[in-house]
């Protein structure tokens, strides 16, 4: 649902949504607009998205936008809609244009050519999960008087984008949809929702100070896990916009020895341990995709990495530490979705998958 009673905004946002095959829904006519009490475009956009979403139970996309004039200290800004109201409380943009010109003249500024910019903040809010995300676009330009053009809406007839000679009121809606502040924000929204990495949540916790001696190691592991997941068959699970969680613990040899003894009955340190949330036997029988296809959310499992053993292995094999770590992460992720190497045939299958994925990210076959 497009959270606005502004017909101009609704049409413009609807046209943008059509580009990604989404049909815009108008809010109920009886639903009054909320008071915009925020101090920023982002705050008001979120306020409106939440209001309409919570009132209707639908995912809402709200917009807060306005014209900011440098010589007027950013006015009308977040009060752009209110600034357009006349003495009868109705939007009257021709009157607003006159007020802007008068204020600029009173400040000793020539209205035509005065620097200004449009801001648009789009916020999407899901009332079922309380998920909220904002995207902001900005277009710089200048004012022109008298107003020109009867296309667009709002302050369009007095705004000329930098590098153009026509106002937003003179250009077609299709042209405006490619260059406007709203189009910029919408492009960011599309990019965000097109990126499957946003659906993957990797919780990396360092429980040994030795890991923290490596700069940004937690970020490296989070980024690498997401990349490996998207290169594996797990990607199919994310195509339906389902979310996936993975836990990674960074421990010492002493710590992994205790875990190995407790859960695997092996009283020794090892490089990595993996604990799947899924029934590995069921996955091997029916396939990962068939087992998880009805799950809206998946906790993949836990990976535990021991610094000393991994470092020793990398040195002994003359391997790059990060390449060896990446291989172990991939090896563990495959274990979590049912792959194993208990016999030669299974081991060959697993090694082939690992080698193929690692080559895609520039890492040589670790088994040579």
Sign of the four-CA dihedral 122, 40, 77, 188: negative
Distance (Å) of CA 334 to CA 131, 346, 352: 30, 12, 12
Tell me, yes or no, if 64 is annotated catalytic.
Answer: yes
For residue 7, count CB atoms less than 10 angstroms from its CB and return exposed for 0-12, middle for 13-18, buried for 19 or more: exposed
65: closest CA among 146, 172, 143, 154? 154
Query: Around Cβ 145, how many Cβ atoms within 10 Å?
Result: 17
β-strand partners of 118: 67, 139
6: closest CA among 205, 152, 113, 147? 152
Query: Around Cβ 211, how many Cβ atoms within 10 Å?
Result: 21
Token pair belonging to 92: 């009257």
The residue annotated as part of the active site, out of 15, 63, 64, 302, is 64
Angle of the 181-194 helix axis to the 7-18 helix axis, nearest 10: 40
Contacts of 188 (CB under 8 A, 6+ apart): 135, 136, 137
Query: Around Cβ 368, how many Cβ atoms within 10 Å?
Result: 5
| Pairing mode of beta strands 60-69, 115-126 | antiparallel
Residues shown for the chain: 368
Q: How far, in Å, CA of 23 to CA of 20, rounded?
A: 9
Query: Around Cβ 360, how many Cβ atoms within 10 Å?
Result: 11
Tokens 């209707």 locate to 56
Q: How far, in Å, CA of 151 to CA of 48, rounded?
A: 26
Token pair belonging to 191: 């990019």
**Do the Cβ atoms of 158 and 94 come closer than 8 Å?**
no
β-strand partners of 134: 123
Active site residues: 64
């Amino acid at each position: 649902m497009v959270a606005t009673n502004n017909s101009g905004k609704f049409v413009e946002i609807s046209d943008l949504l059509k580009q990604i095959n989404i049909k815009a829904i108008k809010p109920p006519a009886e639903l009054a607009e909320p008071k915009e009490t925020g101090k920023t475009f982002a705050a008001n956009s979120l306020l409106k998205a939440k209001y309409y979403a919570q009132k209707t139970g639908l995912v809402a996309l709200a917009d807060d936008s306005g014209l900011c004039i440098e010589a007027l200290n950013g006015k009308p800004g977040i009060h752009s809609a209110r600034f357009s109201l006349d003495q009868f409380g109705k939007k009257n943009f021709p009157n607003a244009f006159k007020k802007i010109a008068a204020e600029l003249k009173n400040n000793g500024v020539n209205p035509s050519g005065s620097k200004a910019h449009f801001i648009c903040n789009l916020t999407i809010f899901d009332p079922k999960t309380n998920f909220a995300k904002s995207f902001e676009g900005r277009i710089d330009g200048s004012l022109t008087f008298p107003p020109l053009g009867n296309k667009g809406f709002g302050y369009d007839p007095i705004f000329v984008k930098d590098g153009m000679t026509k106002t937003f009121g003179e250009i077609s809606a299709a042209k405006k949809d490619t260059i406007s502040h709203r189009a910029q924000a919408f492009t960011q929204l599309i990019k965000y929702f097109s990126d499957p990495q946003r659906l993957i949540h990797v919780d990396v916790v360092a429980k040994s100070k030795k890991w923290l001696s490596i700069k940004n190691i937690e970020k490296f592991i989070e980024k690498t896990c997401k990349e490996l997941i998207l290169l594996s068959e797990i990607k199919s699970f994310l195509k339906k916009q389902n979310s996936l969680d993975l836990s990674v613990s960074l421990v010492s040899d002493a710590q992994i020895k205790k875990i190995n003894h407790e859960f695997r009955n092996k009283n020794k340190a090892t490089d990595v341990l993996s604990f799947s949330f899924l029934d590995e036997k069921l996955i091997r029988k029916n396939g990962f995709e068939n087992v998880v296809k009805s799950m809206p959310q998946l906790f993949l499992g836990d990976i535990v990495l021991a610094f000393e053993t991994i470092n020793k292995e990398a040195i002994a094999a003359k391997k790059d530490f990060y390449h060896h770590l990446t291989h172990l992460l991939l090896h563990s992720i495959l274990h979590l979705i049912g792959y194993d190497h208990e016999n030669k045939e299974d081991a060959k299958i697993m090694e082939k998958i690992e080698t193929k994925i690692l080559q895609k990210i520039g890492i040589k076959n670790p088994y040579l």
